[in-house]
Structure 1
Amino acid sequence: MNTSSIYHCLGLQDQQLLSTSYVGDTIQLKVKTKKDKLRCSRCKRMHVICCGVVERSFKGPMIGKKKCVIIIDVQRLYCKKCKIVRQEHLRFAKEQKSYIRSLEKMVLLLSSHMTIQSISRLLDLNWNIVKDIIKSHLKSKYHSPGLKGVKHIAIDEFAVRKGHVYMTCVYDLDKGVVLHVGKGKGSESLVPFWKRIKINKVQIESVAIDMSAAYILSVKTNAPKATMVFDHFHIIKKLNETISKIRRDLYNKEKDKVIKKSLKGSRWLLLKNPENLNLQKGEDSRLEKVLETNTTLFYAYYLKEELRELWNQDNIRDASKLLKQWIEEANETEIPQLKKMVELLTKHKTGILNWYKCNISTGPLEGINNKIKTLKRQAYGYRDLDFFMLKIKAMHQDIYAKCG
């Protein structure tokens, strides 16, 4: 290996190679900074006087199967202008780091395909050093995503771990970028995001959210002119939970063993889209039998399918009529669980129908939530929540979507 090789392979532009030695499975490269490259680390002037050396060693990227160590006598320089002695500035490594920049680049390259633990073992680096390299890179690029041109956003929470520990995610529906990740699922988790919105003078036009009271209040307070759209996925989810509760209550109260047997295990049949029923397994006939034996479930199932049509209307006027009709029919059934659903839909009627004004939903954000689950599973969890939040913000980049 020669001076040209350390320049092209390791990025040592200002140094020359003095010697190469092999110790076990390690290549030791002794280098020295060229005289014409010695400058004051503060004013960058060449009028300096050498005042001794300090030996330092830096880890470099592997060369084949061999580890690489760069050993350099760092010059102590007296600057005639600054009138002070300082160590020379080394361009190939960051200050107070024991590795060179090319090794850092290799870590970032491998992070798109490997876990931190695997990179640590391959490059013989401390696990914390590998994590800090990746974290510093993510922080410099994704700590504060740009808000220019942000108009349509989605807000939703996701579970971090068991024990009702949640985080809130804000997603740009136009660019497909995570704009903010906050701890908790209350309005306080969105405070830093709204501060940035006000500082950058961004005008949010529409927001897709679930029917969380905390999120509704937060949006009304900080973006009063924005159109709130209550996501239809969460509305159908609420109705499905209502039907599950009706079935469970009926099963617990039913005394007829035949009817009780038909109700058992029928939950997914009731919640499934009729088009997805497996005809070969006789799911259609089994569902029909369940509905025939119980009038309450029949009405609940019919109303569930009717509500699905709310988002298939030609315009907001037709949708409003359908919703009004659905509320009247649900009230007529006298089913307590459905009456609670009626109260919910009546309360949030405007936000539900706003879907016809702004055709947005939290669907893309639900996809991000699934990726977050994969991210956690591959990394076996995260101890550093700040690092976890940075990884989420970088998920739209394929290189950081897979590994923990």
Structure 2
Amino acid sequence: MCALLVGLPDVNVIGVGDWPRWLRVVVETPTGRPDCSCGGVVHRHGIREVEFVDLPVFGRSTRLVWRKQRWRCTTCGRCWCDDNAEIATTRCALTTRAARWSTLHVGRNGRAVSDVARELGCGWHTVMDAVVAIGEQLIDHPDRIGDVNALGLDETLFARLGRFRTQSWSTQIVDVRRGQLLDVVPGRTAVEPCRWLAARPQAWRDRIEWATLDLSNSYRSVFDTMLPLAVQVADPFHVHRLAGTALDECRRRVQNETMGHRGRKDDPLDRIRRRLSIAAERLTGDQHDRLIGLLRAGDPRQEVWFAWNAKEVVRQTYAHTDPDLADEWVAEIVRDFADESMPIEVRRLGRTIAKWASQITAWHRSHVSNGPTEAVNNLAKRIKRVAFGLVNFRHHRVRCLLYAGKPDWTLLPTIQP
């Protein structure tokens, strides 16, 4: 009955002890006399007890003590012990099943390492070392990354390091069709993503048809260099935000020029700062009339009015899916925004749109965006919140890929720590 409860293959339970902090289960493996490679006579050479952290038993932390039989060859003098990887492996403080269980809870379920370590009754590093040992084999499996049709890049803040809290960034490489995190590389420059893509086979890179990005020159250079055949697609959300930022900058500038101070709650432009960001079709009749009235009161040169209309014109670029109409619309936007009568913020917006015109209109042909990449970034931030911050990039990469990289968890029972 004890052997059945312990649930390990080919072991005999010698005894179970009730210790103050955990249960102590002592086992041994009934093995026959082995043979030495030299052909000499082998005899027993004592017993070696090795203690491992095992899965909790009935809500209590458990230690598994393995009484390993030592053997010695009388001819060559070589000594060794019994070994069974399904029970435990050398240099791992957890049993094999406890290491797999920890990887499943920390990686797939996104639990805190400290929470799992508390349940097992061991230290944080004991659990994290096991998660890294098994997790890297899962995420580096060659079948995890299949064929990719659309690739996305985006950055997120990894940690603040050092005495001066220097920002350290990481770049997520995502399959935007399946919403799968392919890998995490350090920094937000073009160097590491280029190195990662260079390590992929040329045939794999040639299958990528679309490359999504968030109007970043660094990531644009990555795609220009490593994926010249892929069509680059600017993320619609970031195009909308660019227009909204131009409107907000224009409002703040006009506010300072007309009133001589920053916005206050009684100033006309400050009272409509939120209403300006709402889509025009979502405004009721009273809200629209109030918006126009306050613009007349606080915008004597109608600069904010022009910026608001420019924001709405940019939004209308994505009101349809006709590629030819989108090309004509963006060309018209670039031409109109360059007019000298426009505010400086609108003219700057027009120059940016002209620079990214082909990437903006490519959305109407591909219908892919950087939304899945942003969703993966949110999952990475969730891992960071659960961990109360991470400073080791290797740990950060393993935990993010286990959580959002969609590894094949059916391989877990076959992996040894």
The answer, yes or no, to whether TM exceeds 0.5 is yes
Gaps of 5+ in 1: 400-404
Equivalent residues of 2:268, 2:295 under 8 A apart = no
- Counterpart of 1:66? 60
The correspondence of residues 77-116 of structure 1 with structure 2, limited to 5 A, is: 77-78=71-72, 84-91=78-85, 92-111=87-106, 112=109, 114-116=111-113
Distance 1:159 1:272, change over 3 A: farther
Gaps of 5+ in 2: 161-165, 408-417
- Of stretches 328-337 and 20-29 in structure 1, the one that deviates more from structure 2 is 20-29
Distance 1:180 1:65, change over 3 A: closer
- Counterpart of 2:367? 359
Counterpart CA distance in 2 for 1:385 and 1:244 is 37
Establish whether residue 390 from structure 1 lines up as the match of residue 389 from structure 2.
no
Secondary structure of 1:165's partner? strand
Establish whether residue 138 from structure 1 lines up as the match of residue 135 from structure 2.
yes
- Of stretches 16-25 and 172-181 in structure 1, the one that deviates more from structure 2 is 16-25
- Counterpart of 2:410? none
Establish whether residue 380 from structure 1 lines up as the match of residue 378 from structure 2.
no
Secondary structure of 2:330's partner? helix
Counterpart CA distance in 2 for 1:233 and 1:358 is 15
Q: State the structure with bigger RCO (CA 8 A, min sep 6), 1 or 2.
A: 2
The correspondence of residues 4-403 of structure 1 with structure 2, limited to 5 A, is: 4-6=4-6, 8=7, 11=8, 13-36=9-32, 39=34, 48-78=42-72, 84-91=78-85, 92-111=87-106, 112=109, 114-143=111-140, 146-161=144-159, 163-198=166-201, 201-203=204-206, 204-255=208-259, 261-277=267-283, 283-293=287-297, 294=299, 295-332=302-339, 333-396=341-404
For 1:319-345, what per-residue CA distance to the aligned partner results, in whole angstroms no more than 9, with x for missing partners? 122122222322233311111111111
Equivalent residues of 2:53, 2:120 under 8 A apart = no
Equivalent residues of 1:50, 1:76 under 8 A apart = yes
Equivalent residues of 1:28, 1:69 under 8 A apart = yes
Counterpart CA distance in 2 for 1:15 and 1:39 is 17
Deviation at 1:348, TM superposition (A): 1.8
- Of stretches 215-224 and 328-337 in structure 1, the one that deviates more from structure 2 is 328-337
TM-score, normalising length from structure 1? 0.86
Deviation at 1:84, TM superposition (A): 3.0
Deviation at 1:377, TM superposition (A): 2.0
For 1:338-378, what per-residue CA distance to the aligned partner results, in whole angstroms no more than 9, with x for missing partners? 11111111122112111222221101111222232332222
Distance 1:397 1:283, change over 3 A: farther
Distance 1:223 1:118, change over 3 A: same
Deviation at 1:153, TM superposition (A): 0.8
- Of stretches 142-151 and 90-99 in structure 1, the one that deviates more from structure 2 is 142-151
- Of stretches 80-89 and 217-226 in structure 1, the one that deviates more from structure 2 is 80-89
Equivalent residues of 2:182, 2:405 under 8 A apart = no
Counterpart CA distance in 2 for 1:124 and 1:272 is 53
Counterpart CA distance in 2 for 1:263 and 1:15 is 78
Secondary structure of 1:98's partner? coil
- How many residues are matched? 390
Deviation at 1:275, TM superposition (A): 4.4
Counterpart CA distance in 1 for 2:191 and 2:322 is 36
Secondary structure of 1:174's partner? coil
Counterpart CA distance in 2 for 1:285 and 1:260 is 18
For 1:142-177, what per-residue CA distance to the aligned partner results, in whole angstroms no more than 9, with x for missing partners? 146744311211111122246543221111022221
Percent of aligned positions that are identical:
18
Equivalent residues of 2:99, 2:134 under 8 A apart = no
Counterpart CA distance in 2 for 1:80 and 1:113 is 52
Counterpart CA distance in 2 for 1:337 and 1:164 is 29
Equivalent residues of 2:338, 2:351 under 8 A apart = no
Distance 1:363 1:35, change over 3 A: closer
TM-score, normalising length from structure 2? 0.83
- Counterpart of 2:415? none
Secondary structure of 1:182's partner? strand
Counterpart CA distance in 2 for 1:364 and 1:73 is 51
Distance 1:240 1:261, change over 3 A: same
Counterpart CA distance in 2 for 1:275 and 1:372 is 35
Distance 1:352 1:75, change over 3 A: same
- What residue identity is the alignment partner of 1:349? A
